[in-house]
Structure 1
Amino acid sequence: MNLKSPKINISKSPQEVFNFLSDVKNFESLMPENISKFEVLGDDKFLFALKGMPEIILKKKEAIAPNKIVLGAAGGKLDFSLVGNIVEINETSSDVELEFTGDFNPMMATMIKGPISKFIETLVTSIPNAI
């Protein structure tokens, strides 16, 4: 299953956006209102839970400055990744898009497609106000 957030323009350089997304502590400021738990577990790992959903641990798997951050599931039964793609428009402007990729059975994919789409859209649209 592949889902993409809307592409948004941010009035920050790609390096500034990359630096922000590289610090896992900053993801707390991007979370939706229905977050019930957020905990930093290390320099490259955090746990979060949304109301009514199980806890999820995300770990920074790859960082290619200043254009790409890859977070992936750290443990649990689900294998997925969340990729932040950062494209330079000019020195002070970037486009950012989040891409969710996971390997799920068809029934699970149908159940989580809507909530995951809304979740990644919330994350990406929160970035301009959080930086």
Structure 2
Amino acid sequence: MNLESPKINVEKSPEDVFNFLSDVKNFESLMPENISKFEVLEDDKFLFALKGMPEIILKKKEVVPPNKIVLGAAGGKIDFSLIGHIIETGNNASEVQLKFDGNFNPMMAMMIKGPISKFIETLATSIPKAI
């Protein structure tokens, strides 16, 4: 299953956006209001939970400064990646898009498609306010 957030314009350089997203503790400021738990486990790993959902651990898997950062599931029963693409759009301006990529059976995909789409949209639209 592949989902994409809208492309979000940020009045910061790609380096600034990349550095913000590279620090996993900053993801707490991007989370939706229904977050019930957020905990930094290591420099490159954090745990979060939304109300009514299981805890998810994300770990930095790949970084390509200043244009791409990949977070992947660290443990648990589901395997997925959250990929941040950062493109320079002008002087001190960037465009950010988050992509979700995961392998799920059709029933699971049908159940989580809506909530995951809303989640990555919330993360992406929170970036300009949080930086």
Aligned to 1:88: 88
Tell me how far 1:118 sits from its aligned partner.
0.1
Work out the CA distance in 1 between the residues paired with 2:15 and 2:99.
19
Q: Which residue of 1 aligns with 2:97?
A: 97
Other-structure match for 2:115 = 115
Query: How many percent of aligned residue pairs carry the same amino acid?
Result: 80
Structure 2 unaligned residues grouped into runs of 5+? none
CA distance in 1, matches of 2:85, 2:108: 26
The number of aligned residues is 131
How far has the Cα of 1:90 moved from its partner? 1.6
| 1:15 aligned partner | 15
Secondary structure of 1:21's partner?
helix
1:78-100 alpha-carbon deviations (Å, 9 max, x no partner): 00000000000123000000000
- In structure 2, the partner of 1:6 is 6
Equivalent residue, structure 2, for 1:125: 125
Q: Using the alignment, how far apart are the partners of 2:48 and 2:11 within structure 1?
A: 28
SS at match of 2:76: coil
Q: Deviations over 1:36-91 (max 9, x none)?
A: 00000000000000000000000000010000000000000000000000000123
Give TM-score, length-normalised by structure 2.
0.99
Structure 1 CA distance for aligned equivalents of residues 91 and 101 of structure 2: 30
Indicate whether 1:52 and 2:49 are aligned.
no
List 4+ stretches of structure 1 deviating above 3 A.
none
Aligned to 1:42: 42
> Partner letter of residue 58 of structure 1?
L
Partner Cα separation in structure 1 for residue 39 and residue 74 of structure 2: 14
AA of the residue aligned to 1:99: K
* 1:37 partner letter: K
TM-score normalized by structure 1?
0.99
The equivalent residue for 1:25 is 25
Q: Please tell me the residue identity of whatever aligns with 1:28.
A: E
Q: Aligned partners of 1:17, 1:42: CA distance in 2, in Å?
A: 21
RMSD: 0.3
